[in-house]
Structure 1
Amino acid sequence: MNAAHQEFDEIDRQAAQWVDRMNRPLHDAEVAAEFDRWIMDDPRHVESYARFQALWQSGSLYHALQAGEEGPEDCGTAAEPAANRAPQAWKQFAAFAGAALCLVGLVSLGARALVSESRYVAAQGATRAVALADGSKVRLSGGTRMSVRMTPWSREVSLQQGEAFFDVAHEKLRTFSVNTGNSSVTVLGTAFDIDLVDHETRVVRVYRGLVSVDAGAGRQWRLPAGSGIEVGGGRVRSLGEVRGDHPGWIDGWFDADDTSVQQLVRRINRGSRLPVVLADPGLGDLLVTGRFQTSDAEMVLEAVAAIHDLQWRKEPARYVLSR
């Protein structure tokens, strides 16, 4: 066997081992980091891993394993000495790999074909429903921008602006992570909402399952369904009980809990044809609590004006809130 052939055999062996490890129910961050280093080290790693992962998930797995128990079919490879055999779990997969490699020779996928990247934007004043390739569903609020990167080993979202509600399809292998710039949320399968309130404040509410929120510098929280958190500017605030199976903004409502008027105005402006502006920036620091129908900007302005003894007016191109 020449050196090139031996090298490809070694890559396939490593890929098969990684498929076995990554398909186990749990793996820690250290294993995930080790896998990322291996998969990105060589385009051939990506190709080999994708082939073995596809075979692992295919209907041929059961039959291949059965054949392996009786003895792998002859695909031109010699059996290893008994002293070098792997543990039983690995021997079963190796038997599968030995039989399946007869099929692998027909498959040739480039690394680029295995990675899909998409960008999504919701127009100002309108929401948008997005169905991802893995079966996950995302609802974007007005003015939201998001990009998605899908690979055989990861599901990565970058939320650049606005707010999005994620209903994530559960997978044993691939976690689903959302990066917001200064924090990230990671899950396996759940439903949660992320609001980029401003350049540093993020609000996360969980409606189903469990999420992990990482704000860097060792700050990490695990949020079960029915809970929420606001992180920003070095501050952390637990939110009141999260009810229902989706956020109110999808139906045109917003539940404020000692929420700043500035944040409420941003919420209105995501869905309003006419933007709301503050005549005095200091008004943005006022706090409000209650349930507001943000799909009706004038109704919200009327309520805020009554709470804080303010005034509002409608101009041709905007609403103005003033003292």
Structure 2
Amino acid sequence: MTTDRPHLADDPFEEAAYWAVRLAEAPPAFAEQARFEAWLNADPLNIARMEDIVRSWEAVEAHAAAEPIMELRQAALASARASATAHERAWHGIGWRAALAAASLLIAVMGAGVWLILQPTEYRTGIGERRLVTLADGSTLSLDAGSAVDVLYSRGQRELTVEQGRAKFVVAKDPLRPFTVRAGSKLVVATGTAFSVERLRDSVHVVLYEGHVALLDATTPRYRPIGLRGAADKGPVGRLLAPDQQVTLPAGDAPADATDVAVVTPADPVRSLAWESGQLIFNDEPLPRVVERINRYADRPLRLGDDSARALRVSGVFRAGDTGALVQGLQAAFHVHVREEPNAVAIFGGDPPG
């Protein structure tokens, strides 16, 4: 039995990507073995192109074979496969394992001297400042106020880290270089999509607008995929986050969930992206999370002074930076006490001390 080999567009990197995925799936048939060897011999640069494929997944090498990551890798190459036509040739030559071993050896030799020590570029916003950045590959990075993102691009990977605050990413498609965003011990992996990642004091919030992303937990030496399930015991929803879905994960070194799953809820794109136009919209949000977000715009931050205040939940629409409106709303709805301090405005659910 033989497996048809798609005829790809005249793009040598798509050709290399095809062979990388094809050889990872299963041993090819004889005709494919011959074509792989012929492809390797046709152009000395094909070895380097295979090296690019190998390096492209080094950012997630500990979990590159995990089911959701393989799904993303397959999806990134689906267009090349879908547009293909099939043809067969006879096999005369060495086996596929020998050819792949030879290629791997050459890759190792060639790659030994080409590593560069790269430093990430930091993009940061101050209090009340928002910023839109176009990255080297055409991806865009939209930063909320009081946010910081480190960006490290190399030939084989696009690795970003949300150090604080919130950012939206519109990812340029590149099947050779996965786009990974780390926030604490949580990792979001994409190839071409649009999503936001917010790093809060106690959680990491991910909202997906287009495409698909995989979520990984890095709290163990070998990263593990985070399973997803619907709210209200609706059962599993798969391994990839879908458009207009959101998930909140614990921050720091806490595992995603004792049962290896996280709860997915519907996302309102208008509400979740309102910050880009200077509005903050809250729907039954814990007050500590509301204060953390609104303080990104506050010259004089709010501070919660007791557990009673921290237990409150808030809904409403506020202009970014208008802490006074939030304080007035809390006083009207919950009769909180407010105390002016030298460097902050303190809010108490009960009587303030002293």
The structure with higher relative contact order (CA 8 Å, sep 6+) is 2
Question: Aligned partners of 1:129 and 1:161: how far apart in 2?
Answer: 16
In the alignment, structure 1 residue 228 sits paired with structure 2 residue 246: yes
Contact 1:22 1:173 in 2 (8 A): no
The alpha-carbon distance between structure 1 residues 319 and 269, as it changes in their structure 2 partners (threshold 3 A), is same
Supply the AA of the counterpart residue of 1:178.
V
For the 8 Å contact 1:153–1:174, the answer to whether it is kept is: yes
Report deviation, 1:284.
1.6
Say whether 1:49 aligns with 2:53. Answer: no
- The answer to whether the 8 A contact 1:19-1:52 is kept is no
Q: String of CA shifts for 1:128-160, please: whole Å, max 9, x gaps.
A: 222211111112222322211112221111112
1:202 has 2:220 as partner: no
Query: What corresponds to 2:326 in structure 1?
Result: 300
Matches within 5 A, 1:74-89: 83-84=92-93
**DSSP-derived class of the 1:171 partner:** coil
Q: Whole-Å Cα distance in 2 between the matches of residues 164 and 187 of structure 1?
A: 15
Tell whether 2:116 aligns with 1:112.
yes
* Cα 1:245–1:166 shift into 2, 3 Å: farther
Shift of 1:119: 1.8
Offset at residue 165 of structure 1 (A): 1.0
Equivalent AA in structure 1 for residue 193 of structure 2:
T
Structure 1 segment 183-262 matched on structure 2, within 5 A: 183-199=186-202, 201-215=203-217, 217-221=224-228, 222-232=240-250, 234=256, 236-244=262-270, 247-262=273-288
Question: How many angstroms apart in 2 are the aligned matches of 1:260 and 1:156?
Answer: 31
- The answer on 1:131 being equivalent to 2:134 is yes
Aligned with 1:162 (options 143, 165, 172):
165
Alignment gaps of 5+ in structure 2: 1-11, 26-46, 53-90, 104-112, 219-223, 229-239, 350-354
The answer on whether the counterparts of 1:260 and 1:284 sit within 8 Å (CA) in structure 2 is yes
Which SS does the other structure have where 2:149 is aligned? strand
Matches within 5 A, 1:136-147: 136-147=139-150
Distance 1:308 1:25 in 2: 63
Letter in 2 for 1:123: G
Q: Tell me the CA shift for residue 208 of structure 1.
A: 1.7
Task: Tell me which of 301, 324, 330 is aligned to 1:275.
Answer: 301
Q: Distance between the aligned counterparts of 2:297 and 2:130, measured in 1?
A: 8
Deviation of 1:27 (Å): 4.4
Structure holding more helix per residue: 1
Taking structure 2 as the reference length, the TM-score comes to 0.58
> Using the alignment, how far apart are the partners of 1:246 and 1:321 within structure 2?
26
Partner of 1:177 in structure 2?
A: 180
Report sequence identity in percent: 23
Q: Which entry has the higher C-alpha Rg, 1 or 2?
A: 1
Query: Structure 2: which amino acid aligns with 1:121?
Result: R
Q: Distance in 2 between matches of 1:258 and 1:21?
A: 50
Q: Structure 1 CA distance, aligned partners of 2:312 and 2:181? A: 31
1:24 has 2:18 as partner: yes
Alpha carbons of structure 1 residues 245 and 282: separation in structure 2 relative to 1, 3 Å:
closer
Q: State the aligned residue count.
A: 242
Q: Is the 8 A contact 1:116 1:150 kept in 2?
A: no
Per the normalisation by structure 1, the TM-score is: 0.64
Structure 1, residues 183-217: CA drift from partner, whole Å, max 9, x if none?
Answer: 11111111111111115x11111122222122355
Q: Give the Cα separation in 2 of the matches to 1:182 and 1:128.
A: 25
1:246 Cα deviation (Å)? 6.6
Tell me how far apart the structure 2 counterparts of residues 51 and 23 of structure 1 sit (CA, whole Å).
8
AA aligned to 1:83 is H
Counterparts of 1:190 and 1:218 in 2: how far apart (Å)? 19
Q: CA deviation at 1:175?
A: 1.4
Shift of 1:295: 2.8
